[in-house]
A = this chain, B = another copy of it.
Amino acid sequence: MQKTAAILAIGDEILSGRTRDANMHYLAGWLTERGVDLMEARVVPDNAQMIGEALNALRERYDYVFTCGGIGPTHDDITIDAIAAALGRPVIEHPRAAAMVRAYYKGKGDEVTPARLRMARTPDGAELIENPVSGAPGVRIENVFVMAGVPKIFQAMLNAIEGEIEHGVRLYSFAATARNLPESTLSDQLRDIQAALKDVTLGSYPIEGDEKGVTVVARSPDADTAKKAINAVAAAMRALGFEPEMEDRKKK
């Protein structure tokens, strides 16, 4: 069975436009490479009730939920408390997390303040996710991975949980791009090709920016099926007088 996932990005700064989230896109590619289907993404503010509602909706529906943001040392970092409340668990100071935070700051010759030890708080029963970048660990609790919002740390934490994610069937994906061919000129042919083939999905995307044209992507768990579909699309492009550029889309 193919595994499914969702991401919940937490932070006022994303919704105010101050910060552009980068973790959703990174996670999407990372999961696709591992044959896990990212089914949904949400962004909510630093509001315990909204975090809890979104988390509970997502964790019941999908195999894995990744959160990012709100696990730092300051007063506006409420993710751990909100997630613990949503799971009906108390928050504890996790002994091994506290040891990790202590070791990190002692190693730098810095003081271990109560604020820094805040980053050792977890919902009761959590496992830790190593953070090689800045010491304070992430948290796994049930099917929820609670990760940092800073992209470099988020990505390092993903590396750390590599072994905990069950890989699925990777989709084979091939693309054909016809520059200057309007998407709408090709749509009848795409519909017919899609209707004639099973187990393949054709996606059609206008080229962005100033250049006009269309990229069609054929995705399938079977390489031959995907290849057959994209060859039919390429033939349709040529019949309209446009020589396509072909591309192995690296399984996205």
A168-192 with Cβ < 8 A to chain B = 182-188, 190-191
| Known A-B contacts A17-B252, A75-B202; A188 and B24 likewise in contact (beta carbons under 8 Å) | no
Kindly identify which residue among B72, B110, B204, B209 contacts A183, using a CB–CB cutoff of 8 Å: B72
B73 and A187 within 8 A (CB): yes
Main secondary structure of the interface of A (DSSP, over half): mixed
Binary interface profile of A, 123-163, with partner B (CB < 8 Å = 1, else 0)? Answer: 00000000000000000000000000011100000000000
List the B side residues contacting A75 at CB < 8 Å.
187, 190-191, 194, 202, 204
| Distance of A184 Cα from B185 Cα, bound (Å) | 57
| Distance of A73 Cα from B39 Cα, bound (Å) | 24
| Distance of A72 Cα from B15 Cα, bound (Å) | 27
Kindly identify which residue among B26, B43, B202, B217 contacts A40, using a CB–CB cutoff of 8 Å: B43
Interface residue count for A (Cβ, 8 Å)? 66
List the B side residues contacting A32 at CB < 8 Å.
16-17
**10 A-B contacts, Cβ less than 8 Å apart?**
A14-B25, A15-B40, A17-B25, A17-B38, A18-B217, A39-B50, A72-B206, A73-B184, A74-B190, A110-B185
Instruction: Give residues in A with beta carbon < 8 Å to B.
Output: 12-21, 24-26, 28-32, 37-45, 50, 72-77, 110, 113-116, 118-119, 150-152, 182-188, 190-191, 194, 201-206, 208-209, 217, 219, 249, 252
Q: Top 4 closest A-B pairs, CB basis?
A: A17-B29, A17-B28, A115-B187, A73-B184
